[in-house]
Chain A
Amino acid sequence: MQYKTNRLSTVIEWGTLLLSTIIVCFFLFVIIWEIVSKGASSLSWEFVSAIPKDGMTAGGILTPIIGTVLLTLITAIFAIPFGICCAIYLNEYAENNWLTRTIRAAIRNLSGVPSIIYGLFGLALFVQALQFGTSLIAAGLTLGLLSLPYIITTTEEALKRIPNSMREAALAVGATKFETIKDVVIPSAMSGILTGVVLTLSRAAGETAPILFTGAAFFINGSSGYLNQEFMALPYHLYMLSTQHQSIDQVRPIAYGTALVLVIVVFLLNLTAFYIRYKYRKNEN
């Protein structure tokens, strides 16, 4: 084959790969453009500070915002300590035996379990067996279980990056293993752990399927925020406004506004994680 045809085909071949990349970026662009351009007009101080009114055709989305914040908080309180402790066990204590391998396999499988199945498990365990009822605490714990495998995996990655010489130095000056972990390993791995935690929480904040049957409500009158009661949450609110509301066209602007607020919350959490990771890499160099 002549070199010239090769050059032409090179352009075509390079173009195919470029085109697929452009299409993927186009998807992201369309999603953000659609949400921002149509949601921005609903966004105002009143929208985020007023509770829903008139069958949710007017007013703001304060109740779902509070619900999502509290829900994410419960998720964090439950999943962070458990996740970090488990990662410490796997990286610092566990020997390479069948038990450790089983735990690792369990974590990998748990991260692949569909979120709706976590919802069913939350329903069976927290709502029914432990008698919490459909409530904020049941939904928060369900999301906590869902988040657990991600927190464990990312924390373990962060712990692995800490060189053994640091542990040995602490042990050599007489620290116990626990003190070494508490005062040397965890502080050094902190930014890596935080990155993983924030990313996981951003994922949990946007989840809908696990809270469908564990406590999310279509509408709550007045203030919500009691652990043992149902709550409104941003993702569930968006789902309800776009599929279940009796006058869907009328609430469409509110649905766009809710989508925008949800996307902003998730992106802010992600940016925080990127920032922590960026600072961390800089310090490492």
Chain B
Amino acid sequence: MKYRTRISIDKLFKVVFKATGMLVLALLGGIFAMLVYNSISFFLDIKPLDFITGMEWAPTAKTPKYGMLPLIISTTVVTFGAMIIAIPLGIGTAAFISEYAGSRLKNILKPAIEMLAAIPSVVIGFLGIVVLSPGIANMADLPNGLNALNGAILLAIMALPTIITVAEDAIHAVPNAYKEASYGVGATKWQTLRKVIIPAAAPGIITAVMLGVGRAIGETMTVLMATGNAGLIPTGMFDSVKTMTATIAIEMGEVPYQTTHYYALYAIATVLFFMTLFANIVGEFFINRIRKYHAV
């Protein structure tokens, strides 16, 4: 090939590669613009304060009510329940894999965690219906087990792989010198883990938890299938709940195009977007701290 053609191909591809980088920016910008544009159309009809603090979500009633507080509380209850289950299990497993398991056991456990992460959310939701729901109904003497507890357990299972992998990396990254110093002054393995390793890995563990929270808030199919979807403010874990993601998934298919209800679903998505963004930014803040800390 001629030298000049080679140079022009080189230049051309430099532009192509850069353009794809710009496309990623455009994608995030596009998602953001779509959410904001449709939300503004909604807020022209409904006051933002009424939307956020309204106690009732009844968009198809005669006098439609667009209060998303029940949805926010539902999402919070399910996510919180999931984290109560997943955080101790996740950190315990991460500590076990990193500090106690031999290399052969590690080679079994790590792929097992990856397999758990690979299971599609719709399959987990299906098992919520066929396994967990009858189980909960039997135990608590309820007509069915499609409620917040069911969703929380399923979301815990879905968040566990993320929490375990990130927390394990953080625990693994603690310098050996810390451990040796701790053993040197006579501490046991457990004392070292609790008083030295976990505190040193804390920022990474917080990141793991926040990523798990982000995953749980944004998860759609499992909660859609397993929580019963009653749009009321829940009073306990045995109440049926309707999360923000489930509301969008159910109602977007039925709502007429460009009505207030249609825009309302985009407004929910905007709140959802900022909630997950917040969780991810907090997570990132802590992982940056651990990076700086270990660089010193």
Contacts and interface: CB of A to CB of B under 8 A. Distances in A.
B14 A27 contact: no
B27 A110 contact: yes
B131 A24 contact: no
Interface stretch (A47-55, A58-66, A118-126, A224-232): A118-126
A145 B26 CA distance: 11
A239 B122 contact: yes
A178 B253 CA distance: 46
Interface string B1-33: 000001101100110111011011101101100
A209 B115 contact: no
B276 interface: yes
Given A24-B164, A270-B115, A208 B245 contact: no
Given A89-B17, A113-B31, A259 B24 contact: no
A112 B276 contact: yes
Interface in B61-84: none
A17 B92 contact: yes
B166 interface: no
Contact of B123 (A10, A31, A113): A31
Interface in A52-94: 82, 85-86, 88-90, 92-94
B190 A120 contact: no
Nearest to A20: B92
A263 interface: yes
A93 to B, nearest CB: 6
A16 B116 CA distance: 21
Contacts of A94: 21
A27 B157 contact: yes
Given A20-B96, A88-B17, A117-B269, A213 B120 contact: no
A116 B164 contact: no
A206 B125 CA distance: 12
B116 A27 contact: yes
A25 to B, nearest CB: 6
Contacts of A17: 92-93, 95-96, 100
B31 A178 contact: no
Interface residues of A, number: 82
B125 A239 contact: yes
Contacts of A145: 27
Contacts of A270: 114-115, 118
B237 interface: no
Interface string B31-64: 1001100100000000000000000000000000
Contacts, number: 234
B259 to A, nearest CB: 14
B126 interface: yes
A108 B280 contact: yes
A172 interface: no
Interface stretch (B137-145, B172-180, B217-225): B217-225
B96 A21 contact: yes
B6 A176 contact: yes
Contact of B24 (A13, A25, A148): A148
Contacts of A119: 249, 252
B273 A176 contact: no
A187 B89 CA distance: 41
B31 A20 contact: no
Given A86-B17, A108-B284, A21 B116 contact: no
B296 interface: no
A266 B100 CA distance: 30
B34 A109 contact: no
B199 interface: no
B10 A177 contact: yes
B61 to A, nearest CB: 23
A148 B245 contact: no
Interface of A: 6, 9-10, 13-14, 16-21, 23-25, 27-28, 30-31, 34-35, 82, 85-86, 88-90, 92-94, 102-103, 106-110, 112-121, 123-125, 128, 145, 148-149, 152, 176-179, 202-203, 205-209, 212-213, 235-236, 238-239, 242-243, 252, 255, 259, 262-263, 266-267, 270, 274
Interface of B: 6-7, 9-10, 13-14, 16-18, 20-21, 23-25, 27-28, 30-31, 34-35, 38, 88-90, 92-93, 95-97, 100-101, 109, 111-116, 118-127, 129-131, 157, 160, 164, 188-190, 211, 214, 217-221, 224-225, 245, 248-249, 252-253, 257, 265-266, 269, 272-273, 276-277, 279-280, 284
Closest 7 CB pairs of A and B: A114-B218, A206-B120, A20-B92, A89-B17, A176-B10, A209-B220, A85-B20
25 contacts: A24-B89, A24-B113, A24-B160, A30-B127, A85-B20, A107-B24, A108-B284, A115-B220, A116-B249, A120-B265, A121-B30, A148-B24, A152-B24, A178-B10, A206-B121, A206-B123, A208-B122, A208-B221, A239-B122, A239-B125, A242-B125, A243-B224, A263-B120, A266-B119, A270-B118
